[in-house]
Amino acid sequence: MELAQLRYFVTVAQLGNMSKAAEAMFVSQPNLSTSLSRLEDEVGVPLFERRRGKITLNQNGERFLIYVQQALDSLDQGIQEVRNRNVGQVAPLSIACMTDCSILLQYFLKENPDVILNQQRGDLPTVTRMLEQQEVDLALTVLEPPGEALSFERLYECDFVLLLSPEHPLTCHQKIDRQLLQGEHLAIDGSHVNRFTFCTAEGKFGQTPIIDYDVRHLDLLLSLVAANRCISPLPLVNYRELRLLGKDQGVVYRPYEGGAPTAYFGIAYHKRRPLTPHGQRFRDFVRSYFQNIDRQYEARFQDAEPHN
């Protein structure tokens, strides 16, 4: 039984209308109906009477509402008490990250020493759940979370490129097409690239990628590429970031020929939990951070860019 189900239950009981309740709770009516049906299954008895578009509590529902309301009132009272005890203290900014963004966060904290940061890592389903249950203020993602109650702001995009060891034979090409990639062994950063989605996308071009490694740490990924054990697709901005910091381990990159996939970076948050001032500051920082990487890289390494 989830907290959201109980809040849906109370809202429907108060409004007596599924459409109005769905609108108030920022969910679709089918999802609301499904959630209530699951709640009735867990309780073990029907809680509503449904007649001609109207929905009202039956005797079981009226009795259950008393206890649900008491539980929610107690929870809300506890939240308020904790908040009151911390009046005047700086509230931490809680972030869920799909990607290995440790460098970005280090620079954000350096520029914003007044911000207390709590950070968690997770895949898209985990991040979506944390946002829907309002366990975090916002999420830094490379994919738009599917939750209907969530907002997503795309802040930056760039092409994926291919990372190679300087000793790899394909470095003689200024661009690499999919025909050249046939039979090559790949490594993907699972926090940026979904294995299934990547294989499906390449399959539309008649390719079947050979993925030997699926890792979620850039240092390990770079080590595998530098050792000439594989090629790896990575967002161009991440390679540029590592090159600027001298952490690229000597690997090089080549663009895709014939349509590179696009990498997106953005933030997501719950519609009922708007961005705090610190959250707004983080959003603005993320956008400017990636743009600054491009500017700094082009100023320092413009001549090193692959050309036709």
Domains for the chain: give ranges and CATH numbers: 3-85 (1.10.10.10), 90-308 (3.40.190.290)
Is the pLDDT assigned to residue 87 strictly greater than 60?
no
Core vs surface per residue 11-23: b (16+ CB within 10 A) or e = bbbebeebeebbe
Measure the CA–CA gap between 160 and 239, rounded to whole angstroms: 10
Please give the pLDDT value at position 89: 57
Average pLDDT in the 46-73 region? 86
Contacts of 278 by beta carbon, 8 Å cutoff, 6+ apart: 91, 93, 112, 115, 137
Is the pLDDT assigned to residue 26 strictly greater than 50?
yes
More confident residue, 294 or 201: 294
The pTM of this model reads 0.68
User: Cβ-count burial of 2 within 10 angstroms (0-12 exposed, 13-18 middle, 19+ buried)?
Assistant: middle
